[in-house]
Structure 1
Amino acid sequence: MSHTAHIPSHRKPRRSASKTALRAGVAGGVLSTIAVAGAAGPAQAEPVTQTIEMPTITAGLSTSVAASAQATQAVALDLETQATEDAAAATAAKTAKKAKAEAVRKAEARKKAEAAAEAKAQEAAERASRSAERTTLSASTGSSDSASSSSSSSSSSSSSATGSAASVVAFAQSQVGDAYVSGGTGPNSWDCSGLVQAAFRTVGVDLPRVSQSQSTAGTQVSLDNLQPGDILYWGGAGSAYHVGIYVGGGQFVGAQNSSTGVVQKSLDYDPPSGAVRVL
């Protein structure tokens, strides 16, 4: 016996064709039996093979969402526009109120400045019209001669003035010696137009306050045809810088300046530019 006689072979034995066919037949029979059994079984065991199609709503939904978003955006834009308009209106109202207040303030300041400038201009013009030479001439005149001249002039003028004119002249002469104060309206200090206005007020005549207006308050008369009570002015009619009252006898009374106060002087002392007659 050889050494390899008892060693089993590792190769699988070949199956015969008959066995293979038999096994195939058995398998086919089993599968057929299963198929038949499945067909005969309960209906609920049948597998679901039908596909259910759900309606598509994406297109309609997107249109609705887009419309809603657009409407929301429009509302937001309207609100923003309204807010902007309200803010602009509030700012405009505030600016207008401030501008109005500023305009009122400026108008008041301008009015005060004009009044102050007018008073200063009038005072400066009055002072400028009195030269140093005239001041020296006045100072060189004896006080006794001046007093007697004034007294005689007063008597002469009083006798020639009548009615309302006499009252105006008498009032003006009674203020001689009072102080001159720019803007003064009495009873013990005057400026030129304040004295004239007060004198005419004693006879019920209400004259304007300033020299410029008083120089056109009546009928213009020639300096060669003066009567007691006429208003004398220096400068142009309507732009006069000084006024006084003619009291007769070639004399006038006026609030001249802070140095002389209210005086009665000859027309030669300070020749006027013109005259107006009110009475």
Structure 2
Amino acid sequence: MILALLVAIADAGMPAAAPVPIAPLQAAPDIVPLVPPPPEYTLSLKDGGWRVHVNFRPGEPQPGEVVEVTFDVGRQKDGDVGEPQPWNDGKLALTVTGPGPRTKYLVRALGDAGVYGVHWTPVSRGLWTLALAPYKDAGPTVSFQVGAGEPMPVASQGHMVQASRMVVGARGSERPTVKQLMADLGKRWQREVDSAQPDPAELKAMAKLLHAAQGRSPLPANGAEFDGLAAQEAAALEKGAIPDATSCLKCHVKFRDSWVADLSRWPEIKR
């Protein structure tokens, strides 16, 4: 009926209505486009029984742009055979010297065993020297050079890699493991803690990672407790709050590191 009236109006010589533009389809908010991430730069260093894998993202640092630096630290004690074991007790600092002011950063533990990270922004173009060392107790002492706004030095003996990037909520993707989910969560948490203003989209993505981990406890007998901790942190993120390191530690000491068996009297713990 409506179509017939429109045809009649057009036949009567009245101007036809301008076509209404159709808005392009928008991807669901939890779908991240699958675009190739920028290349990363990685190198491996040794200090006695210590092994340190260093990773820069992006792999071609530019002056004035934030670089995510991660350290995968392992230790092989005397008499051990095989691969070095992840080292989780680090109290590490990174000292940066070069064409700009000398700066020192606290290197934070991330969500995966033996992995630490820091954000660094080179202020000037040129070669920078980065030195990782413990500020307390034992730890590796290694140093290396990186270029900002210019090629990486050959002496660093590193190489570029095209790393994959986890896509939160992407349909059809392979289901990530809990270890991968927590590693991604740790990196996002580090960025938000270091930023001046939390990014609501990042907080939402972090909450999705926690929801994706529910029902998949590393200790199946304590699944309800694990799910409760994940739900508690996800609820805080959905309200715009960033979990503090203490709340993360509560989960890590039992479900990641198996240091304790009872969290009922936290922060008092029972092994």
TM-score (norm 1): 0.23
Structure 1 or 2: larger helix share?
1
TM-score (norm 2): 0.24
Rg comparison, structure with higher value: 1
